[in-house]
C-alpha cells in the first residue's frame, strides 16, 4: 500500500519516538502506516537497522543549522538585486539515556571493551558514520526522517543529577547521500484514517457573469473548501451537510470580455479535477 498523506490538521505532537542506525548507505526501509510500537518498527526496518535505545523525554531531538544568514546584495539603482545562498551544515542532537557499550562508542568516538566488560575510552576519538532513521509518533500519525550518511560523536558533557536521568548528548552531522542531504515525510496517518478526496461532477450553469451564484455538485465537498475559477477564488461559499453540493459567487476577473477558466474545488483532503466555465462580461 502506498503511503497516504493527509493535509487536514498536519501538525505533530511527538509523544513517542524511535531512532535507528545502520551501516552508512543503507536504503530507507518501507514502514507500515500503522506505527504501533517498537516491535512493529523493528520487524519493518529489518535486521540492518538497530534501535539507538532510550532518548531524553525532556530534551527531545534537537535539529540545528550552522552557517551564515542569507544577505541581500544590491546596487545604487537596485538595492535588492540578489540574495546570497550561503552553505548550511545541519545537525541533529540526540540525548541518549542508555548507558551501554553502543552508546559509549557513539559518544566517545570508538573505543573497546576491557576484560571485565568495562568500556575503554579511546585517547583519540573518531566519529562514527552511519545511516539514521527517526520516527516521531503522535497517536496514529507520524513523521519519518531518513539520512543516508551522518557523522556521530558526543557533544556536550554528561551530568550525574540525582533528580534526573543521566544523558549522553550525541550530535549527528548530516553528510548527505546520493540524492540530497536526507528525506523527511509529511505527516502520515495510519490506515485506520479514511481519506476522502473530493470530486466535482457538474457546474450549473456553465456560464455566468461576475457576482452570479452557481451550484457545484459532486462528492466529499465538505467545508472548509475553496472554489477556484482559474487563478481567481470564488466567494460566498456554502456547503450542504451531505457534502454533495456547493454554491459559490463568481469572482470578477481582471480581463475584460468573456473569460474561459477551469473550475476546481480544493479541500483539506485533496483537489478535484477541473470543469470548463465561462465568465461573461459585457
Question: Is the entire prediction scored with pTM above 0.85?
Answer: no
| Interval 166-176: pLDDT, tens | 999 999 999 98
Q: Does domain 199-279 have CATH number 3.30.1130.10?
A: no
pLDDT digits (tens, 9 = 90+) for 77-92: 888 888 988 889 999 9
How much is the pLDDT for 1? 39
Distance between CA 3 and CA 88 in Å, rounded? 30
Q: Are 143 and 5 in contact (CB under 8 A)?
A: no
Site of grid cell 528525506: 183
In degrees to the nearest 10, what's the CA dihedral of 115, 120, 126, 128? 60
Domain-by-domain residue ranges, the chain?
16-189, 199-279
Residue 235's beta-bridge partner residues? 249
Q: Which residue has the higher pLDDT, 3 or 215?
A: 215
Please name which of 281, 276, 217, 282 lies closest in space to residue 248, comparing C-alpha atoms. 217
Residue with cell 551530568: 159
Nearest partner of 204 among 263, 266, 251, judged by Cα: 263
Contacts of 159 (CB under 8 A, 6+ apart): 166, 167
pLDDT at residue 2, rounded to an integer:
45
CA dist list (Å): 121 to 110, 113, 135, 214: 8, 9, 30, 75
Per the CB < 8 A criterion, the answer to whether 178 and 153 are in contact is: no
Mean pLDDT of 224-253: 94
Question: In this structure, are strands 141-154 and 168-174 parallel, antiparallel, or unpaired?
Answer: antiparallel
CA atoms within 13 A on the CB side of 110: 6
CATH-assigned architecture of domain 16-189: Irregular (4.10)
Q: What is the chain's mean pLDDT, rounded?
A: 89
Specify which residues 19 forms β-bridges with: 134
Per-residue pLDDT tens digits for 20-42:
999 999 999 988 777 777 777 88
Amino acid at each position: 500500500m502506498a503511503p497516504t498523506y493527509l493535509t487536514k490538521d498536519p501538525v505533530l505532537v511527538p509523544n513517542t519516538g524511535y531512532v535507528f542506525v545502520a551501516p552508512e548507505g543503507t536504503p530507507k526501509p518501507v514502514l507500515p502506516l500503522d506505527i504501533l510500537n517498537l516491535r512493529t518498527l523493528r520487524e519493518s526496518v529489518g535486521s540492518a537497522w538497530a534501535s539507538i535505545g532510550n532518548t531524553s523525554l525532556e530534551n527531545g531531538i534537537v535539529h540545528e543549522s550552522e552557517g551564515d544568514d542569507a544577505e541581500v546584495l544590491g546596487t545604487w539603482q537596485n538595492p535588492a538585486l540578489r540574495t546570497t545562498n550561503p552553505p548550511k551544515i545541519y545537525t541533529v542532537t540526540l540525548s541518549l539515556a542508555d548507558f551501554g557499550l553502543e552508546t559509549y562508542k557513539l559518544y566517545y568516538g570508538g573505543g573497546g571493551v576491557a576484560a571485565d566488560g568495562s568500556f575503554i575510552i579511546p585517547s583519540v576519538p573518531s566519529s562514527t558514520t552511519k545511516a539514521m532513521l527517526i520516527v516521531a509518533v503522535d497517536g496514529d500519525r507520524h513523521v519519518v526522517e531518513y539520512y543516508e550518511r551522518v557523522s556521530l560523536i558526543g557533544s556536550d558533557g554528561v551530568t550525574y543529577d540525582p533528580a534526573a536521568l543521566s544523558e549522553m548528548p550525541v550530535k549527528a552531522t548530516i553528510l548527505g547521500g546520493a540524492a540530497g542531504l536526507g528525506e523527511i515525510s509529511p505527516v502520515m496517518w495510519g490506515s485506520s484514517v479514511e481519506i476522502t478526496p473530493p470530486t466535482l461532477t457538474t457546474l450549473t450553469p456553465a456560464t455566468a457573469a461576475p457576482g452570479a451564484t452557481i451550484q457545484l455538485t459532486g462528492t466529499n465537498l465538505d467545508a472548509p473548501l475553496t472554489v477556484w475559477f482559474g487563478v481567481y477564488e470564488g466567494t460566498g461559499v456554502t456547503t450542504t451537510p451531505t457534502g454533495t453540493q456547493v454554491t459559490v459567487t463568481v469572482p470578477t476577473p481582471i480581463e475584460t470580455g468573456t473569460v474561459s477558466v477551469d473550475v476546481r474545488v480544493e479541500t483539506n483532503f485533496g483537489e478535484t479535477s477541473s470543469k470548463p466555465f465561462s465568465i461573461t462580461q459585457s
